[in-house]
Amino acid sequence: MRALLVANAVDADAGFVGDRFRAHGYAFTECHRESPGEWPALDGHDLVLTLGSEWSVYWTDIEREVAAETSLVCAARARGVPVFGICYGAQLLAHAFGGAVRRSTTPEIGWYEVDSEIPDVIATGPWLQWHYDVVDVPPGATQLAVSPVGPQAFCVERVVATQFHPEATETMLRRWSAGSGGEELRRSGSSPEELLEQTRVAVLTSAPAAGRIVDWFLETTG
């Protein structure tokens, strides 16, 4: 089985989520957002996984890239190909299907609890968050989890989206915390050292919890 993995070229690590999909027999075809003209056809792929990004879907200088990914996920939905979106991927799905994405007054950066409608599937956390935007879920979608800032997960037909990062590993967060990421953490009142200390504990529960979401996603969309 093959899955299209849509991500930025510098950050195409699907972490715990990718590991679980591979355990179910999926192999990934990597699609870089910066080069949509090089993406393979959706034909022959059984699933789309769209990851997070430093981008926001409303940035005017990435309209071409947003349009290409919107076209891809709309085609997948029309064909009944399951789609799983994470953070920016979730925002792209909301945008593509008639929801809205806007700048949040309260960024979420760090490990947070969420209120889950299906806690046996989407645990209450803690989950890694790193974003400055908030979504309005698209028409017809079911909200599955929420935080005080806004929706944290939703589903519509064979599409599932999480605003939080179930894929996040310690290795990934070491990379995100370097350079400008460290400055973001300090502006939010944290630090790379504090985040990594929290991560070493949090991934003990978030890793198996991520696996449960993937298992449920495949069971409900298969």
- Residues annotated catalytic, as ranges: 87, 165, 167
Burial of 66 (0-12, 13-18, 19+ CB in 10 A): buried
**What's the gap between Cα 146 and its chain centre?**
15
Strands 159-162, 83-86: pairing kind: parallel
Return the residue matching tokens 């995100």.
Answer: 176
Secondary structure (DSSP) of 180-200:
HHHHHHHHTT--HHHHHHHHH
